[in-house]
A and B are shown apart, each in its own frame.
Chain A
């Protein structure tokens, strides 16, 4: 059984007991535990079920590489699935449940997949696609959906807050082990600003567990001293619980800081994503031990040798009482020693190397361990827990020589440098024959904009595994990074690490070497995705040669752990099956993030009220306080209508229109874009921007204009006012302000840079309020001031500056409703005051505000087009019968040439017309005008579509505008619009101006 030991546990605070629950069971651990160590201490080796076969699984590793021990963590708004127990620090009240089990962890129905494993071979998913379509829908999909999946999806809104942080350093070091610490010190002493980040809560990496001395003191003391030294350096920043998640172009990297995962009850942020620009990056990311591939290597109790050592030394927790150690290298002997020191049994050390190990092996024998050279595990016995192993010759096919009872197995297949961050941005790898691993090739680093390397590796991440070499490499890396960042470095001696001679490992990719199909089917490579040696061999047999293809076909390395344990073993098996050397097979691509990071940290602060910027006009608060129903327009919220009490939106719109047409209404038009265009060439410039002639406009006058892009399509419209000889003010649509300003600047800066024109976007300088209706003039006159707003002084399509009431105002006589209308601009900071005064003095006329829907209906009644309704990026002004707005006198304007193309000039285009249903009903939005017959895809032919369709309160019937083949030539024709229910509605083609065709109402 696994249990808490009396000894060990350097990271524990045994004075502080912590209570937590697993699958509802109340358990206790100590402060300093991880969830994994605390579960082991409670003899909970079984921690989850596998993805595909639902096999029982226990913890196999002790860090970020863990594939098995994934849990659903927390509850409600703090719930998160797929959390690694090995990197989850224990806290009081932690609640975790195991994943992928049904109905319970102990008894899982899905394990039947395990017995049907023959039916679920490599590429199972792909093979199902070749079956008849019906089989996928009715057979495979239900099975796959039911049995697949890891943790549950959170159901509640995330209760935590997150943020980003932009940081800049000369040198950023990822990994706070001895190499990272030494590199930080070297770079710091050179004067560079340094960030050293460490994903765990502790400095020193695994050096304290592996032991040894540095400069004659214990490595723990060396670590403490170095940390103290670094903390005292102003130019060095140390951050633990922060993972280097990804390295990107030009020295950009992400640091994922977990602030309160270890103490969720503490108020404050949960995660902070550091978005860092570094001149140089040092990856001191260490190495990960590889499992060995033998039958039953996934049975709970089979663990990495180093992890077992970690649990004892760091957390005072045993993984079993009798542990068989199996390895192809010397390092695993350290686990045997550790086990013995802490009073646990090691019945045998199986060394797969024919000639066995070096000095450590000799020491083991001296201490009385039974060491067997050239021996291997044939299979592990047990179901939910290891009960024993059959041992065999590594060179053979697995004939059992002996069965040894045990309750845990410590395995080591050698170590692979963590090359992920090095590789994210293009760092290349070389195959190191002597250590049987891929390591970074220092001659092929990721390069920056200048073609120079910006990443260096340090310590085990470079390849060296021994303490002395690791320290030397760390020192070198720190100096190299500082130098590359522009600091002068006087090379110093690295501290001297204790030297242990070790015999070289002998690669062992399958145990035993000649294992037959039966054993291979039980030899796991990827624990989380249930990929076995047999699957990879099958893929090779079926013709998969590329490692990337094999990965996708078998799902090897595609789980949440991204194959941290399985990649190298998998591609070694593939290489063997393909009969080629490992470097010829290569690795799959390493992509960020190193381990999954929270969605919350990616979103940062952007949630709730700051999810998106919401733009507010100076009148916005009034709208909110007066019950406006808002609709989004760009990033603004504009009132759609102002319903009163229980009034429906439709009724509110009708009321607002009737009031405006009969007396006076008020519109907050502040969102309309306002761009000043000034300079001697301003007229010439606007003649190019608009289809109309703007240069002939007289100061004091307004003109409606159309803007097309260079492909001739209508992109914006609005009223241009000429302020003086050199100055124009261009109104744009609400959504067009920034876009059109950018468009103008683009032409001025890139194409017509020698034209003397300046622009300024002054949209937000003004609150612009439209006072609309037959009583508009009466109301403005009542407001007082010195501005003469009579027809003679301020006629239709003119503008004027002056005082209206106490306000500095500019009044434009423009109308989008067909009524007598003044758009009045006042400084934004007085906009609300102006609105209030108008509302107050307008009471006499029953004044009320109207929203965007009333605006839309009134303009449709007048046959005015709306950008985004009548246009969709494929419509040219000619389609909308707006030839009158296209100057024939001008040599050129943007879009002119495009509009001459055959297709654009064709008479065969759909063109604008009005529509009246014969029964008075409203044509559904998005409706098409059907035509005879059907097309090649069996769809009904169409001859047009509706672009604007409303109930008109003024006419008390449905009105519409639309594009129809033949356009206004079809006047009087009756066409059929389709409806959602499959029927059609008949409508007559009419003039799109439904109301006041002669403009008598607006021109008074």
Chain B
């Protein structure tokens, strides 16, 4: 295998919050009946996590699982282990009507870190990011300015944003503008 590179090769911007291309991440789209025993067992077998409830993320061993829609999950693992995880999921789900697809290369992941990280996002996404409203275990599929995206918290002052690879530069640019010093709002923190 040739060396794989993320869309922006680790680009970084330091403003009142820091925006970083975190590099490649293993991501697997899993579609199926989320309430089924097979699905629960497959997710358990793949990364030892529970099937998340609506708009929630569950953590497991070496990865996490995010709820994407009533019949879709996103399994997030290290890029290096994604093919193994796909194989495990396929094996566990072989008997049921499901779709498992590696989408790692179709995505970009950015981290927003710093005291103003919520405000950086709130300039671009129509989401209530207030402390205590946006839950620690929440994922939100929404938009970042003009493109589809999703994000979740990774700490009290950090978020991860995922978007399509083709718009990685656009998303990085709008996050960069949002986080530029002088644009602090000091509202959500």
Taking Cβ atoms with an 8 Å cutoff, the residues of A that contact B are 161, 163-168, 193, 237, 267-269, 272, 275, 277, 604-606, 609-610, 612-618, 636, 676, 678-680, 756, 758-760, 762-766, 805-808, 827-830, 832-834, 837
Contacts and interface: CB of A to CB of B under 8 A. Distances in A.
Nearest to A612: B146
Interface string B15-46: 00000000010000101100000000000000
B106 A765 contact: yes
Interface centre among A604, A609, A613 (most CB of B within 10 A): A613
Contacts of A830: 1-5
Interface stretch (B47-55, B56-64, B154-162, B177-185): B177-185
28 contacts: A161-B177, A164-B123, A164-B124, A165-B123, A166-B125, A167-B187, A168-B128, A277-B128, A605-B145, A606-B146, A613-B146, A613-B167, A614-B169, A617-B166, A676-B99, A680-B97, A758-B71, A760-B103, A762-B101, A805-B2, A806-B1, A806-B2, A807-B2, A827-B105, A829-B5, A829-B6, A830-B2, A833-B3
B106 A764 contact: yes
Interface residues of B, number: 50
Interface in B74-108: 97-99, 101-107
A163 B123 contact: yes
B123 A605 contact: yes
B11 interface: no
Q: Which 5 A-B pairs have the closest CB atoms?
A: A268-B182, A829-B4, A764-B106, A758-B99, A615-B166
Interface of B: 1-7, 24, 29, 31-32, 71, 97-99, 101-107, 119, 122-128, 130, 133, 145-147, 164-170, 173-174, 177-178, 182-183, 185, 187
A188 to B, nearest CB: 16
A615 B166 CA distance: 5
B177 A828 contact: no
Contacts of A676: 99, 101
B145 A269 contact: no
Contact of A267 (B146, B182, B185): B182
Contacts of A833: 2-3, 5
B135 to A, nearest CB: 15
Interface centre among B125, B166, B170, B183 (most CB of A within 10 A): B166
Contacts of A269: 182-183
B106 A763 contact: yes
Contacts of B187: 165, 167, 237
Given A165-B122, A759-B99, 5 more contacts: A166-B126, A613-B147, A616-B7, A679-B99, A765-B103
B98 A758 contact: yes
Nearest to B98: A758
Contact of B133 (A165, A168, A805): A168
Contacts of B101: 676, 760, 762, 765
Given A168-B133, A613-B147, A760-B29, A828 B106 contact: yes
B27 to A, nearest CB: 10
A272 B180 CA distance: 14
Nearest to B174: A610
B123 A760 contact: no
B185 A165 contact: yes
A607 to B, nearest CB: 10
Contact of B165 (A267, A679, A756, A828): A828
A105 B99 CA distance: 74
Contacts of B173: 609-610
A760 B97 contact: no
Contacts of B127: 166
Given A610-B170, A764-B166, A827-B105, A756 B1 contact: no
A226 to B, nearest CB: 21
A678 B2 contact: no
Contact of A764 (B2, B128, B164): B164
A758 B32 contact: yes
Given A237-B187, A605-B145, A613-B146, A163 B165 contact: no
Interface centre among B1, B98, B122, B165 (most CB of A within 10 A): B165
Contacts of A615: 164, 166-167
A474 to B, nearest CB: 24
A605 B178 contact: yes
Nearest to B170: A613
B145 A606 contact: yes
Interface centre among A605, A806, A832 (most CB of B within 10 A): A605
A769 B154 CA distance: 37
A548 B105 CA distance: 58
B31 A829 contact: no
B130 A765 contact: no
Nearest to B32: A758
